[in-house]
Amino acid sequence: MKSQKIWLSLIGFGLLALSAACAPATPTATPQPTAPPVGETVHVSILNRDMTRDEIVAAIQEEGGLVVANWTYTANDELVNQFQKYVRDSYGVNITLTYEGSQAPSTYLTNLYAAQAAGNPPPYDVMAIEENYWADAVAHNAPEAYLPSGLIPNQALVLDQFQHVPTSIAFQSTAFPGVVYSRARAGWMTKLTDLADPRLRGRITLPLPGDITAGGVLVSLAAELGKDYRDPDQMKEVVDYVVDNLVPNALKLTTDSSEMQQLLRSGAVDAVVFWNSLARLEFLGGNADAGLLISPSGVFAVNGYLWIPKGAPHPVLAQIFINWRLSPEVQLPNDWPIDHGPWSEFHEGFLGPAYVDRIPAWFQADYYTYFPTLDQIQTQFKTLDWEAYNTGVDEWMDYYSERLGL
């Protein structure tokens, strides 16, 4: 891997924590099984039972598999292989993990609510999508109360700020939509409103309206423009600003990450609006020109959260999967046979102190160029009022679509 750093425009953020970057990585390990020793029991949430190891194994055999709703990671197949191997090695049972991937997670809620309304079992056992969708699901009485659980001891590793007990827990801590740009062609950019600069006419991409990618960017723009994202009327003013000033500069509206990468690498555009992870993926893929713009108004995290729909048909495996996904060995999957780019898709910041010393040797010199320190995660990321966001988002997002003629 190239060792050259991308010096990002991290205004007010200061991610180059060199002392932390020099911390040694600990040896890798295999996630430990969650079943109790022979003769002992753990309390299994959802089932509300104290279960022995043999009973847990029998439940896994009966369930046979599970369905997880998530995103389109490059190495999803390896994640499936690793979890199936973990269950086989830990419990002696062969199971099938069906891993759904989409860049439009709202479709999962549509399917979930349809099943709920029809009185059918949910089509998913675990939802691993952005926090705003969990908040929407709470309003629809859809998430199961499953925390704490004897099958999820790794809950103790996760900071309280990333838990919504009893219904969800984060598996990310630093995800947010932002601007990834060419430092050579657009290194003058310092804020989101720079996307309106005439120098960028036909040289940017913007996200399509609808999902949290567009919503997160509009919220950040609202902060720069002095608007309150909790007020739909003020958000419509933000939409007007985007349509009148940013859209004329857009070559295309897209949420296709591979398309954005191709346009940025080819020089067809100078900046793309997508998730912060794209910057490190570009760097690890050899594009040392890619930089990440951080709004001077601050960062609103839009992290992924793990929750279980009520009536999930495979609740034991759902809890085992959540515990496995929270383990340090999976949060920083150093042992997996994957390239550095896919590794950086699965890791999105520290969930707590137990994860900090697992930075792999190949990334120690550059890790804090792309990720904040644990202290910065705890103090410098803003929290959205998701109830207020979800109350108003349909109104101003529909207005955005109307203004675009979609």
Whether 26 has a pLDDT exceeding 70, the answer reads no
Which listed CATH number (3.40.190.10, 3.40.50.1370, 3.40.1180.10, 3.40.50.1580) goes with 31-174+302-326?
Answer: 3.40.190.10
Write the pLDDT tens digit of every residue in 122-156: 999 999 999 999 999 999 999 999 999 999 999 99
Closest CA to 211 of 71, 107, 100, 346: 107
Written as six digits, the tokens of 153 are 């001891």
pLDDT at 30: 56
What's the whole-number mean pLDDT along residues 305-321?
99
What's the whole-number mean pLDDT along residues 99-119?
94
Whether 10 has a pLDDT exceeding 50, the answer reads no
Whether 305 has a pLDDT exceeding 90, the answer reads yes
SS3 167: coil
Q: Are strands 381-382 and 299-300 parallel, antiparallel or unpaired?
A: parallel
229, 219 in Cβ contact below 8 A? yes
Whether 320 has a pLDDT exceeding 70, the answer reads yes
pLDDT at 381: 86
DSSP state of 389: H
> Count of alpha carbons within 13 Å of 328, Cβ hemisphere only?
16
Phi, psi angle pair for 166, to nearest 5°: -105, 15
Q: Are strands 290-293 and 126-130 parallel, antiparallel or unpaired?
A: unpaired
Write the pLDDT tens digit of every residue in 324-357: 999 999 999 999 999 999 999 999 999 999 999 9
pLDDT at 375: 92
Q: Where does the pLDDT of residue 4 fall: very low under 50, low under 70, confident under 90, or very high at 90 and above?
A: very low
pTM score: 0.83
Whether 297 has a pLDDT exceeding 90, the answer reads no
Write the pLDDT tens digit of every residue in 34-48: 667 667 999 999 999
What's the whole-number mean pLDDT along residues 366-385?
88
CATH topology of domain 177-299+385-404: D-Maltodextrin-Binding Protein; domain 2 (3.40.190)
Q: Where does the pLDDT of residue 296 fall: very low under 50, low under 70, confident under 90, or very high at 90 and above?
A: confident
Query: Which residues, including other chains, have CB under 8 Å from residue 240's CB and lie 6 or more apart?
Result: 403
The length of the chain is 406
Which residues of the chain are in CATH 3.40.190.10 domains? 31-174+302-326, 177-299+385-404
SS3 42: strand
pLDDT at 193: 98
Closest CA to 144 of 41, 49, 48: 48
Q: Quick one: how many helices (H) and strands (E) in the chain?
A: 16, 15
Query: Which residues, including other chains, have CB under 8 Å from residue 61's CB and lie 6 or more apart?
Result: 93
Considering all CA atoms of the chain, what is the largest pairwise distance in Å, rounded to the nearest integer? Answer: 71
Instruction: Tell me the C-alpha distance between 72 and 53, whole Å.
Output: 34
Instruction: Work out the percent of the chain whose per-residue pLDDT is above 90.
Output: 78
Which one is predicted more confidently, 56 or 38? 56
pLDDT at 24: 38
What's the whole-number mean pLDDT along residues 269-274?
97
Whether 5 has a pLDDT exceeding 90, the answer reads no
- Residue 37, sorted as left (phi over 0), alpha (psi -120 to 50) or beta, turns out to be beta
Single-letter amino acid, residue 372: P
- The rounded mean pLDDT for the chain is 91
Whether 20 has a pLDDT exceeding 70, the answer reads no
pLDDT at 38: 67
